[in-house]
């Protein structure tokens, strides 16, 4: 595979995408914060099934981190990421610095309603404003036909869809299934913070969610099932459970048991916060 073109300025990104468009090529984008793992590679694969060219952005976006969060220690490994992009067949890596994305005087914030309320927002109040603002910028800078987001960050996927609908951004959003290890652990850049024993505990998150989703699908009481799941996570070794919640699959409004839903959870292992979600298939 050829190494991807690497650009760190919006001007160079636009010039390259313009050349591709003039040649009649379709462009897909995969926004990332780097520390690429197999989950990201699956997004690139899906992008390349649709598009002639795939742009991957690598930008650890400061506006989606609270001052107490892991912005400084978030894994940064550009050389390794570029190797992975080459192997995956991505065509361009957009690696802007903070000053390119947020020049002095930057003063705009996009706030999406609907699916952003509750869940992550209850614990990370500014997170989705930061995500929506940077994703809107990336879309306007790149102008892709498609953009691929993982279902692992399910609420983010719903928020990005809402953003594109509401602002008429001409990008088709593709949701990609979560990539898991052989024992069900969702791939996440934050897994790098975990030791072997913690990884074993982390794997229980998906086990407990799947079990609870099956119970909900067969008519279990939602409040009871989610509190049993919360208790089971604590028993498994999670020190703190932020939420286990059933939601309607598209709007993330409270789940109605006659509809397909999503069971979402966030829980802490030491100083690492993990999220996961599974489908609730109504019968």
Q: Nearest 5°: CA angle at 113, between 46 and 252?
A: 60
Using CB under 6 A, which of 16, 42, 61, 162 touches ligand PAF?
61
Between 32 and 42, name the residue whose CB sits nearer to ligand PAF. 32
Residue 160: CB minimum distance to ligand PAF, A: 7
Beta-carbon count within 10 A of 241 CB: 19
Single out the segment in contact with ligand PAF by CB under 6 A; choices: 84-92, 102-110, 129-137, 259-267. Answer: 129-137
CA distance 142 to 26: 12
Residues 150-169 that bind ligand PAF (CB under 6 A): 153, 156
Query: Is residue 70 part of an annotated ligand binding site?
Result: no
Please answer whether residues 80 and 114 qualify as being in contact, where contact means their C-beta atoms are separated by less than 8 angstroms.
no
Residues labelled catalytic:
40
Please answer whether residues 92 and 4 qualify as being in contact, where contact means their C-beta atoms are separated by less than 8 angstroms.
yes
- Secondary structure (H, E, C), 33-46: CCCCCHHHHHHHHH
Query: Is residue 240 part of an annotated ligand binding site?
Result: no
CA distance 31 to 245: 27
Using CB under 6 A, which of 47, 92, 131, 169 touches ligand PAF?
131
Is residue 171 near ligand PAF by the rule CB under 6 A? Answer: no
Residues annotated within the binding site for beta-alanine are: 64
The residues that touch ligand PAF, with contacts defined as CB under 6 A, are 31-33, 61, 64, 131, 134-135, 153, 156
């Amino acid at each position: 595979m050829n190494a991807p073109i690497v650009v760190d300025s919006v001007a160079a990104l636009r010039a390259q995408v313009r050349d591709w468009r003039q040649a009649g090529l379709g462009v897909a984008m995969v926004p990332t914060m780097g520390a690429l793992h197999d989950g990201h590679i699956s997004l690139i694969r899906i992008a390349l099934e649709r598009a002639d060219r795939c742009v991957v952005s690598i930008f650890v976006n400061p506006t989606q981190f609270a001052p107490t969060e892991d912005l400084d220690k978030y894994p940064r490994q550009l050389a390794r990421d570029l190797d992975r992009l080459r192997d995956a067949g991505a065509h361009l890596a957009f690696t802007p610095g903070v000053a390119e994305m947020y020049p002095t005087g930057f003063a705009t914030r996009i706030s999406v309603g609907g699916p952003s309320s509750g869940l992550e927002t209850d614990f990370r109040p500014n997170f989705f404003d930061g995500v929506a603002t940077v994703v809107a910028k990336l879309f306007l800078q790149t102008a892709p036909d498609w953009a691929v987001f993982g279902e692992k960050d399910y609420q983010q996927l719903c928020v990005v869809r809402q953003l594109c609908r509401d602002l008429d951004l001409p990008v088709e959003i593709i949701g990609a299934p979560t990539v898991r290890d052989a024992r069900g652990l969702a791939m996440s850049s934050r897994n790098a913070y975990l030791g072997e024993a913690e990884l074993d505990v982390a794997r229980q998150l998906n086990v407990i969610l799947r079990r609870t989703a099956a119970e909900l699908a067969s008519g279990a009481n939602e409040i009871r099932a989610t509190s049993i799941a919360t208790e089971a996570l604590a028993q498994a070794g999670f020190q703190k459970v932020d939420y286990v919640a059933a939601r309607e699959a598209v709007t993330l409004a409270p789940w109605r048991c006659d509809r397909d839903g999503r069971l979402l959870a966030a829980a802490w292992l030491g100083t690492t916060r993990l999220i996961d979600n599974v489908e609730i298939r109504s019968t």
